[in-house]
Structure 1
Amino acid sequence: MLTDILPSAAISGERLTGPWQGLGIEPEAIVHPESVEEVSAALRWAGASGVRIIAVGSGCHLPALWQEGRFVVLSTTRLTGIEIYEPADLTLTARSGTSLADIDAELRTHRQWLPFDPPHVLDHTLGGFVATGQSGPLWMGYGELRNHVLGMTIVSGDGRMLKLGGRVMKNVAGFDLLKPIIGSHGRLGVITSVSLRAFP
């Protein structure tokens, strides 16, 4: 059971709200991990139990919840905080549940910004934004989101933590495994942190 591997404070029996209301479906539980280790434990449990995990950030996008079968919603809203910000290098690393509004506010203190402008962009969490692969009209001048993600940490379906890419713009080590993750809607793993390139 989930209660055997996660703290009771990380598990709730709350009902789905927002765009999920009215679909007539409910998860077995909604979990709110506060660390990568708790995300990993939840995914290992799900794999062993035959339960689907659906990762959700701020809930701006509706994943395929209408499919049949057991599922648990994994909310990243407690995985918050900017881990590293180097204004001189124009790079920032934040946990996946950090809101883009908070990131934008921090960048503005150094007159920097992110060139992404889909509708309601500041309502998104960083991980949800990357998982859905949005960019907005500014991509024509600045390039797509995938061009500005330098690295990320994800937890795979079997609970392994994987570090992809890096935290600097000149990172050429190994294969580029970032791009398949961006826009994958969580199908390839749960994003737990992201490193981005900022603009002056």
Structure 2
Amino acid sequence: MSRSAQRGTASLSHGSSRRQAVTGPSAKSPAECALLLSQASGCALGEARGLTCLEPRDQAQLAAVLKEARNKNRPVLPIGSGSQLAWCRPDAFETPSFTPIPISLIHLSGIIEQIPGEGTITAQAGTPWSDLISAVAPSGERLPADLPAAESSTLGGVLGSGRSGPDRMKYGPLRHHVLGMQVMLSDGTLAKSGGRQVKNVTGFDLHRLYTGSRGTLAITLEASLRLVPEPQQEWGFSLPVADYAEGFVKAMGVKQAMPRLTWLVLTRVESRVLLKGGLAGCASQVRVDQEQVMAALGGTPESFDLEATRQRRDATEAGSENLFAWDIQSSLRQCSTLLGELEAQLPASTNLWVDCSAGRILVGLDGNDPARVRPSWAESIAERATLIRPLCVGADLHADLSPTDPSTWTTRLTQGLDPAGILGAAAFSPGRQP
């Protein structure tokens, strides 16, 4: 099994009785169940990240798979290329009794509509994120989120995980740019929310609810995004700082002096902690703004013009979740103090990556193996952190750190949209096997 399939986080969960109804005492191995669903629905089998998956060729075949999954009381998990399987609990694919069968939407791929200059694009869920980038570039537009691993990510996977890049500092979270979706509910019903153009968006914003739900509410089939203009010029900087806590204080000073910053992160390069950031927009405005940024930085920062785009992409890739064991979030007011407490307790070589616009801290692995012991710093930062999410940890530690009971509204929402309980929320729930 791939390492990404062994990593985990907490999310929505079914009640134990509901999960038992899905699994049943006679559950077969995941590969056997995938084969049974394939034979009954006519859907081809494939492989994603070392896992056997179903690969429907169109919406009709996807509906047939869901029908058979309901008939056989077998949970399924919609995926794209499988790059976001890190969201699953560590033992999600090791327990035959409740392992969901992945349904890959890679064949439901392609751009449906993109009119140059209109500022929107509509594509099927299995479309690679990198294809969308290439499609909008000739019209002088770009996607509203700069994400790591664009080549291995799909539109549906990005929206399902609710990912946003460091450039959310300028453009806001990705969910704010989702104009509409077409989804398939667990009973095979098609549902639409929003529209393809900004002027046509009406009704409830269910597409924003689906964004970040990890496929546990409905399966995304297609989505429309609002684009942003490609900037005339980019400029970036890099400033060595003594440590992460000092760097964050400096970052807040720069942010206050120049609110038009596009991105601002703290990262470690070899043995140095660097504050990196950049501007993007109209060339004349960027030139004026960079003078204010340099004055706020002080010291001797490096500045980049021709290499600004590469610097931004490198900083984004450095924040890929697959490189880290923990995801910590806090308010901006508490983040500097929290970073100081972390640095005092972590080995000096521990890699941290900080999105200074969101108060998000990624804590690196100690070696190559998942963490299996509750970290000593978890208790000391608990009051300052709004979230401590395990990324690469052992199953027992994951269960210990994850909340066990979903909120009432979450339970009602999940049961309302997926009454049969076949969309693989159990793959994200913290407890142990039933």
Pairs within 5 Å for 1:43-192:
43-62=66-85, 63-64=87-88, 66-67=91-92, 68=95, 69-192=98-221
Deviation per residue, 1:29-80 (Å, 9 max, x gap): 5211121111111112112211011111122112436344153110011111
The Cα of 1:171 is off from its aligned counterpart by 3.4
The Cα of 1:190 is off from its aligned counterpart by 1.0
Check if 1:6 corresponds to 2:42: yes
Structure 2 CA distance for aligned equivalents of residues 143 and 121 of structure 1: 19
Q: In 2 relative to 1, CA 51–146 (structure 1 residues): closer, same or farther, beyond 3 Å?
A: same
Structure 1 CA distance for aligned equivalents of residues 125 and 110 of structure 2: 8
Gap runs ≥5 in structure 2: 1-35, 230-434
Structure 1 CA distance for aligned equivalents of residues 40 and 57 of structure 2: 16
As a proportion of its length, which structure holds more helix? 2
Indicate conservation of the 8 Å contact 1:133/1:183, yes or no: yes
**SS, match of residue 87 in structure 1:** coil
Deviation per residue, 1:124-151 (Å, 9 max, x gap): 1001000000111111111111111111
Indicate conservation of the 8 Å contact 1:54/1:186, yes or no: yes
Structure 1 CA distance for aligned equivalents of residues 117 and 144 of structure 2: 18
Structure 1 CA distance for aligned equivalents of residues 167 and 151 of structure 2: 15
Structure 1 CA distance for aligned equivalents of residues 151 and 172 of structure 2: 19
Q: How many residues align?
A: 187
Kindly provide the amino acid, as one letter, of the partner of residue 53 in structure 1. V
**TM-score of the aligned structures, taking structure 2 as reference length:** 0.41
Indicate conservation of the 8 Å contact 2:193/2:204, yes or no: no
The Cα of 1:115 is off from its aligned counterpart by 2.5
Gap runs ≥5 in structure 1: none
**TM-score of the aligned structures, taking structure 1 as reference length:** 0.86
Pairing partner for 1:38 from 45, 49, 61:
61
Identity of aligned residues (%): 35
What's the Cα RMSD here? 1.8
Kindly provide the amino acid, as one letter, of the partner of residue 225 in structure 2. L
Indicate conservation of the 8 Å contact 1:52/1:70, yes or no: yes
Indicate conservation of the 8 Å contact 2:117/2:139, yes or no: no
Q: Rg larger in 1 or in 2?
A: 2
